[in-house]
């Protein structure tokens, strides 16, 4: 029962992850959501952030974009705009994207339109990338 | 029997045609590779999202979500055939048009009216020939096949449906299987009622007490447009890859046929030349004979 979850992570471009796992953590509407085997049927929004998949004691991390998740009978499906593993993350680019999106958000505080939402999503994704990359280098030390 | 010169000219003309078909085949092959990559990449997301929507369609109350409402007395049915702008691609467009004709023949009695909104120049010309009613100018609604256009088109179609202008919408497109085969699909686009997902395998779990976060309405408001966009976009990609495959195959056949024709004409030319030489020799020998006499 240690790897009772069937996980599938699919982005607009490809299927990123498909396999068994013991636990999956991602960001949903009310903060981080931790799914363990036996979870109730659930459909939720996924926010840009960190995705962690634990299997056999090792954990794989991804920086994901926004999307949707479904939990049905121990099958977890994540549909997100993008998902990058540690190896795919360009730390320099993420830093630049973070600085740029923050600058844009600061220029028009309080405005909530399509462009501002896009920038907020960009910032969240940059933060997620940096966190995933940091965790990877931290564990390597 | 055509003269030697006529046959030579004919061979040269067929050779020129063959050069063109061969070039078109190569171009189609290059485009096919890209189109195929695109559609293969887009499939998992579109199919998974379709599965999620199928699950949702079981629990959503159509009274509250207008796009899920299967209207009891279906009266107006809109078909969206997806065709190409250019020809020379074998049966690619004609199979779509044939499917339209068949659909009308089989469903004429079930609907008050059946209209079309053709995508692609060949489709526009085709429905005019078939004398079908065009209800929506897709050149305006979907000017190109990019993501923003798709988003716009989905918005227009949803508005039409909610306003009651149309009661059901189908996509008719070629699904890409391989460079040699395309399969015509007729897929229900709207409404998102449970019967639209008859082809989807549903999980054997009770979904009635599913938790929604955020609340169902809010989640649906975000998910429905994404879903419809991904379905329409995927249909366009499938169609594009199919078109390139069909054109490549058609042009490959044309090149082969031109080769056969050249072989046959060459044989004919050689015979004609041989006949001319023989006649000449006979004339010379008979001339020499008569001199001897």
Nearest CB neighbour to B219, from listed A14, A41, A45: A45
Residues of A with CB under 8 A from a CB of B: 8, 10-15, 28-30, 40-45, 68, 70, 72-73, 75, 77, 79
Tell me the whole-structure pTM to 2 decimals: 0.86
- In this complex, do A29 and B213 lie within 8 Å of one another by their Cβ atoms? yes
Interface contacts A/B by beta carbons within 8 Å: 68
Token pair of B69 as six digits: 């409402």
pLDDT at A140 over 60: no
Task: Please give the average per-residue pLDDT across B253-270, as a whole number.
Answer: 96
Of A92 and B1, which is predicted with more confidence? A92
What is the SS3 assignment for B96? helix
Give the model's pLDDT for residue B1: 67
Give the chain A residue whose CA is nearest to the CA of B208. A41
Per-residue pLDDT at B206 exceeds 80: no
CATH number listed for the domain at residues A5-85: 2.60.15.10
* Mean pLDDT along residues B160-166: 92
The confidence band for A1, taking pLDDT boundaries of 50, 70 and 90, is very low
Residue A4 vs residue B232, higher pLDDT: B232
Cβ–Cβ contact B203 with A under 8 A: yes
Question: Which of A85-89, B118-122, B186-190 has the lowest average pLDDT?
Answer: A85-89
Does B201 touch chain A if contact means CB atoms closer than 8 Å?
no
Residue of A12, A15, A44 lying closest to B213 (CB–CB): A44
Residues B167-193 have pLDDT tens digits of: 999 999 999 999 999 999 999 999 998
- Preceding omega of A39 cis (within 30 degrees of 0): no
Q: What percentage of chain B reaches a pLDDT higher than 70?
A: 97
Residues of chain B found within 8 Å of residue A10, distances taken between Cβ atoms:
44-45, 48
pLDDT over 90, % of chain B: 70
Q: How confident is the model at residue A106 (pLDDT cuts 50, 70, 90)?
A: confident
* Chain A residue nearest residue B233, CA to CA: A12
- Architecture (CATH level 2) of domain B32-248: 3-Layer(aba) Sandwich (3.40)
Residue A137 has pLDDT above 80, yes or no: no
Q: Which of A12-16, B1-5, B95-99 has the highest mean pLDDT?
A: B95-99
Higher pLDDT, B129 or B196: B129
Nearest C-alpha in A relative to B234: A12
Contact at CB, B48 and A14, closer than 8 angstroms = no
Residue A87: its pLDDT value, please? 83
Using the predicted structure, report yes or no on whether residue A139 has a pLDDT greater than 60: no
pLDDT at A141 over 60: no
Among A30, A45, A70, the residue with its CB nearest the CB of B52 is A70
Is residue B41 within 8 angstroms of chain A, CB to CB? yes
Q: Could you read off the pLDDT of B80-89 as tens digits, one per residue? A: 999 999 999 9
Specify the pLDDT at position B69: 85
The verdict on ipTM greater than 0.90 is no
* Model confidence pLDDT, tens digit, residues A28-72: 988 899 999 999 889 999 999 999 999 887 889 999 998 999 998
Residue B73 has pLDDT above 90, yes or no: no
**Average pLDDT, integer, range A113-120:** 82
SS3 sequence, chain A? CCCCEEEEEEECCCEEEEEEECEEEEEECCEEEEECCCCCCEEEEECCEEEEEEECCEEEEEEECCEEEEEECCEEEEEECCEEEHHHCCHHHHHHHHHHHHHHHHHCCCCCCHHHHHHHHHHHHHHHHHHHHHHHHHHHC
The token pair that represents B207 in the structure block: 């979904």
Residues of A in contact with B48 (CB under 8 A): 8, 10, 77, 79
Average pLDDT over residues B140-148: 89
Strand partners, B113: B76
Using pLDDT thresholds of 50, 70 and 90, give the confidence band for residue B293.
low
Distance CA A88, CA A61 (A): 11
With 0-12 / 13-18 / 19 or more C-beta atoms within 10 angstroms meaning exposed / middle / buried, residue B200 is middle
Model confidence at B56, pLDDT cuts 50, 70, 90, reads confident
Q: Residues A92-120: what's their mean pLDDT?
A: 85
* A-chain residues near B209 (CB < 8 A): 40-41
CA distance B242 to B165: 31
Can you tell me the mean pLDDT for B10-20?
Answer: 96
pLDDT of residue B205: 66
Residues on chain A touching B220 (C-beta within 8 angstroms): none
Exposed e or buried b per residue across B113-146, where buried means at least 16 C-beta atoms within 10 angstroms of its C-beta = ebbbbbbbebbbebbeeeebeebbebeebbeebe
Residue A109 reports pLDDT greater than 80: no
Among the partner residues A14, A41, A77, nearest to B209 by beta-carbon distance: A41
User: Which residues of B are less than 8 Å from A29 in CB distance?
Assistant: 213-214
Angle at A29 between CA A23 and CA A30, to 5 degrees: 80
Band (A116; pLDDT cuts 50, 70, 90): confident
Q: Which residues of B touch A45 (CB under 8 A)?
A: 213-214, 219, 222
Q: For chain A, what are the domain ranges?
A: 5-85, 88-140
Does the pLDDT at position B201 exceed 80? no
């Amino acid at each position: 029962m240690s790897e009772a979850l069937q996980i599938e992570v699919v982005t607009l471009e490809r299927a990123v992850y498909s396999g068994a796992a013991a636990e999956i953590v991602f960001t949903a509407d009310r903060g981080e959501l931790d799914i363990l085997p036996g979870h109730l049927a659930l459909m939720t929004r996924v926010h840009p952030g960190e995705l962690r998949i634990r299997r056999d004691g090792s954990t794989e991390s991804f920086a994901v974009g926004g999307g949707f998740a479904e939990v049905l009978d121990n099958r977890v499906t994540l549909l997100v705009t993008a998902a990058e593993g540690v190896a795919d993350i360009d730390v320099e680019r993420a830093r630049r994207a973070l600085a740029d999106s923050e600058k844009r958000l600061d220029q028009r505080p309080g405005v909530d339109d399509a462009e501002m939402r896009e920038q907020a999503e960009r910032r969240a994704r940059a933060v997620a990338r940096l966190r995933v990359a940091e965790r990877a280098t931290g564990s390597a030390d | 029997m055509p003269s030697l010169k006529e046959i030579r000219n004919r061979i040269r003309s067929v050779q020129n045609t063959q050069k063109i078909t061969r070039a078109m085949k190569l171009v189609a092959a290059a485009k096919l590779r890209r189109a195929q990559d695109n559609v293969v990449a887009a499939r998992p997301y579109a199919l998974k999202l379709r599965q999620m929507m199928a699950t949702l369609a079981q629990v959503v109350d159509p009274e509250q979500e207008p796009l899920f409402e299967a209207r009891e007395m279906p009266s107006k049915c809109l078909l969206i055939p997806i065709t190409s702008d250019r020809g020379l691609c074998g049966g690619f467009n004609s199979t779509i048009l044939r499917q339209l004709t068949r659909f009308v023949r089989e469903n004429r009695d079930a609907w008050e009216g059946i209209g079309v909104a053709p995508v692609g120049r060949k489709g526009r010309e085709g429905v005019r020939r078939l004398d079908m009613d065009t209800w929506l100018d897709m050149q305006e609604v979907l000017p190109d096949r990019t993501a923003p256009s798709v988003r716009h088109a989905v918005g227009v179609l949803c508005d039409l449906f909610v306003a009651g202008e149309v009661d059901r919408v189908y996509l008719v497109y070629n699904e890409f299987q391989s460079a040699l085969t395309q399969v015509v699909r007729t897929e229900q686009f709207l409404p998102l009622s449970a019967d639209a997902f008859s082809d989807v395998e549903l999980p054997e779990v009770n979904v009635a007490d599913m938790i929604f976060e955020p609340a169902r309405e809010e989640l649906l408001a975000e998910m429905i447009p994404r879903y419809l966009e991904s379905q329409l976009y995927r249909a366009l990609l499938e169609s594009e890859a199919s078109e390139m495959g069909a054109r490549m195959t058609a042009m490959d056949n044309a090149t082969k046929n031109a080769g056969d024709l050249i072989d046959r004409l060459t044989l004919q030319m050689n015979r004609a030349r041989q006949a001319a030489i023989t006649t000449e020799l006979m004339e010379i020998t008979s001339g020499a004979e008569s001199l001897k006499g």
